[in-house]
């Protein structure tokens, strides 16, 4: 039983490496672009920037990590945000 735990599937290590790479890239973009880091990552998802051949999936992860760190709400339109703010008042 214990030996089965020690033999972790390889995908666990790949997932951890990808998560670390996404976090490092998010750190780099935040340091370089500050408040505009999310929008820079979004442009890279859309293929508007030269990014060294990284996939759109990678840049989506970076974009979501930046949004999480900067507390940017994704998926809400302006009307939805106004209604939410009005309900708080």
Q: Which domain holds residue 25?
A: 12-88
The whole-number pLDDT of residue 73 equals 83
- The answer, as to whether pTM is greater than 0.75, is no
Domain annotation covers residue 1: no
Domain count, the chain: 1
Q: Are 38 and 67 in contact (CB under 8 A)?
A: yes
Domain annotation covers residue 20: yes
pLDDT band at 38 (very low <50, low <70, confident <90, very high): very high
What DSSP string runs through the chain?
-HHHHHS--HHHHHHHHHHHHHHHHHHHHHHHHGGGHHHHHHHHHTT-S--SS--HHHHHHHHHHHHHHHT---S--HHHHHHHHHHH-
């Amino acid at each position: 039983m214990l030996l089965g735990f020690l033999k972790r599937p390889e995908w666990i290590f790949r997932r951890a490496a990808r998560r670390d790479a996404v976090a490092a890239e998010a750190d780099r973009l935040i340091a370089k672009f500050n408040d505009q880091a999310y929008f820079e990552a979004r442009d890279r998802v859309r293929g508007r920037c030269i990014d060294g051949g990284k996939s759109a999936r990678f840049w989506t992860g970076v974009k979501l990590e930046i949004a999480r760190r900067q507390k940017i709400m994704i998926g809400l339109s302006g009307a939805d945000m106004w209604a939410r703010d009005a309900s708080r008042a």
